[in-house]
Amino acid sequence: MILKNNNIKILVTGGAGYIGSHTCIALIEAGYEVVVVDNLSNSSEESIKRIQALTKKKIIFYQIDVGDKSSLKQVFNENSIDAVIHFAGFKAVGESVMKPIQYYSNNVSSSINLFDVMKQFNCKFLVFSSSATVYGDPVKVPIKEDFALSAKNPYGRSKLMIEEILHDLFVSDNSWKIVRLRYFNPVGAHSSGLIGEDPDGIPSNLFPYISQVAVGKIKKLKIFGGDYDTHDGTGVRDYIHVVDIANGHVNALKAIYEKSQILTINLGTGHGYSVLEVVKKFESVSGRKIPYEIVERRKGDIANCFADTNLAAKVIKWKAIYNLESMCKDAWNWQSKNPNGYSKKT
């Protein structure tokens, strides 16, 4: 199968979500047809409508749960699926500590369902949305793909379990083509301001939290931990623009279309920013003051985390191009145009 021609159909699970929606745009712009399945438990169908408005292309959308095998089979029966990009799953570290059973059930069990259905329909081309949380608390940075794995929370462990399942699947049948993308901290939004991150309730991730403080939806930012072993005491992360992440998925598909293999690739910028550095840059871009207070650390969080990106450059010919200012600018553009997220149209 050559993934350079038109009429190649990609199934995107969780395609109405934050990263999934941006990846749908990248896929369509690269000439692929897109089918989306999403149960809308933490996303909105409005994002699908906006993707179609931006790309002028129709998306085939099914509101189903990946854990529903019979519905998933219907999708494969009704569409000739060439490859799958698997995003669907719960994603909040803090919530996973409080609700581990839900995370293992939803993330791991549903993935097994998906892989089983793919096998039944002889669709063995997969890009999996993994996470840098599988590295746990690394002994040093930057983090390379061959570092020891030791996830520190149920969310990270669910991703690691799925990675290991995919390894076993490939060992059992090496006709599979699999890429496990471990990305770091996706932020920002599409430059149009039409799609972006729209979390339910108080955000668990830094950028939407800051954005909602800037727009006046939340009074002040809570910074979880000010005594980490970093230059200013706040956690350091490798923040990466969501459009860079989306383009990484397209590059991953192209990189493995000729050869059956299983790859594991970091997607990051290779540079870490502290929470306070992000706050300062966001204030500069938005012109808004971000009041904050430093509170206790969250369980499962680590001090310092950023990627070694050499393998991505070598194997999938990919490199992040957006800087922190662009990430903050696009995040603010999205939030200022959509103060209530997708619940109120632009």
Q: Give the residue numbers annotated as catalytic, written as ranges.
A: 155
* Cβ contact 293:220 at 8 Å: yes
Burial of 73 (0-12, 13-18, 19+ CB in 10 A): middle
Q: Which two tokens stand for residue 18?
A: 């934050």
Q: Kindly provide the b/e burial profile for residues 16-42, where b requires at least 16 CB atoms within 10 angstroms of the residue's own CB.
A: bbbbbbbbbbbbbebebbbbbbbbbeb
Q: How many CB atoms lie within 10 A of CB 343?
A: 10
**Interatomic CA distance for residues 75 and 10, integer angstroms:** 12
- The C-alpha angle 342, 32, 77, rounded to 5 degrees, equals 90
**Interatomic CA distance for residues 132 and 183, integer angstroms:** 6
Bridge partners for 307 per DSSP: 143
Among left, alpha and beta (phi > 0; psi -120 to 50; other), residue 303 is: alpha
The 8-class DSSP code of residue 191 comes to T
In terms of DSSP bridges, do strands 33-37 and 239-241 run parallel, antiparallel, or are they unpaired? unpaired
